[in-house]
A and B are shown apart, each in its own frame.
Chain A
């Protein structure tokens, strides 16, 4: 077993009176691709947002290479720089060009000089097939192009792990393909990925493990073969059946 990059213990998140996450435990190992599936409101996105500290967990621990990152505020910024996030709504910086989107974090957070940052950024923009558009502003790009730049932005920080929060849900069907292709290539390259998705075919094909969440807990955590062909719970079966009919 490879060493865990992220380890979550007894994670809880309460919004007002609603308990969105109840006692979540799981680990992501180096080089692993884990897909989180489940119906809307099951806590998938909240779990991801907690891991990236966009939400402060109500209780529990998050370990990054064995270090509890909820303990110290200083470490948390460095941690965020090392665990990237790709959002459903892309969230590219609208005031910056595609290239600047990919360099600003390197320059301001990792303290690289501009030339070096631009070299790294162009490499990743090339990887996602966006090298022609480095001078374009986000409003000049299509949804799929924006998401590919967003992936390049996250990669430019050379993260240990990348979190994807429904990266294709805001895209029209034609553009889903181009983003999924990029993600598949990343998965093959050995990047540690944690993907919240509704793309069942993608989860089945690419992931090492699939996690099924329901009602704020992890119901099943297994290989894709087991989850898709031989689910242990009735609830999982029901969900998979319904998502197939869609």
Chain B
């Protein structure tokens, strides 16, 4: 009991002294995670689409060749970034640009770039899987009413694929929220970095990281809830409105399918 009291007073001390810098760190963590995940998703969508383009036998030779080269580059990108730790990639980018070009990039920019590219590599495979999971009949039906390849992809296949990959995208988002802590190695003053500073200054390491732990949990938990909401929005309403019943054409009846399913 006594221990708990000293623990809480320690926590309070760290919070009083370094609370504002922890909050600043939290903001940067959120910034990196949001921008990194969205940019990564964008990269992933682009790469994923290109990787699902099929080559037909009677296609032009140039198209085949270009596609082959592009696919090779993209495969290399995915493999390299999935097969090396993000921490190492961050070091290479940050100190590499300093050594080669003699410039010191802003650590936060470097962090965002690395998280985006790294997430993009995973997202590319997630998006590819999402596109492949859509029944071929959807594309065929789009083709049968005269849509072009791009129309069929952007209006029919991708919206469905994106809905299906939302849980996986959410995973990536949460991972980024937490893994942004490795970027402290390139002096990004995100939450982990700030916590370490606070711990070093007060010698209350356990107490400082207890606070960080709670903050990280709140962040990821909120993200989970938001993503669930987005998924529900994408699904649209559970029920639909029946139009024009015979006795009263203007009457609208809502049918709820939740019970019947």
How many residues belonging to A are interface residues under a CB distance threshold of 8 Å? 38
B150-168 at interface with A (beta carbon < 8 Å): 151, 155-156, 159-160, 163
- How far is it, in angstroms, between the C-alpha of A53 and the C-alpha of B147 when the chains are bound? 12
Any A CB within 8 A of the CB of B143: yes
Task: Tell me the total A-B contact number using a CB cutoff of 8 A.
Answer: 87
Q: Which one of A104, A131, A132, A137 contacts B236 once the chains associate, using CB atoms below 8 Å?
A: A137
A157–B243 CB distance below 8 A: no
B93-140 at interface with A (beta carbon < 8 Å): 135, 137-138, 140
Min C-beta distance of B20 to chain A, whole Å = 46
B144–A54 CB distance below 8 A: yes
Across the interface, name the chain B residue whose C-beta is closest to A137. B236
Min C-beta distance of B46 to chain A, whole Å = 21
Min C-beta distance of B220 to chain A, whole Å = 29
Any B CB within 8 A of the CB of A223: no
Any B CB within 8 A of the CB of A171: no
Q: Annotate B217-261 by CB proximity to A: 1 below 8 A, 0 otherwise.
A: 000000000000000000010001111110000000001010000
- How far is it, in angstroms, between the C-alpha of A91 and the C-alpha of B144 when the chains are bound? 11
Min C-beta distance of B227 to chain A, whole Å = 19
Any B CB within 8 A of the CB of A52: yes
Residues of B within 8 A of A93 (CB): 138, 141-142, 156
B145–A81 CB distance below 8 A: yes
B76-105 at interface with A (beta carbon < 8 Å): none
Q: Nearest 5 CB-CB pairs, A to B?
A: A81-B146, A105-B145, A91-B137, A91-B141, A85-B144
**A-to-B contact residues, CB < 8 Å:** 52-54, 56, 77-82, 84-85, 87, 89-95, 97, 104-105, 108-110, 131-137, 140, 150, 153-154, 157
A-B contact pairs, 9 of them (CB 8 A): A78-B146, A80-B146, A91-B135, A94-B138, A95-B159, A108-B147, A131-B244, A133-B240, A133-B242
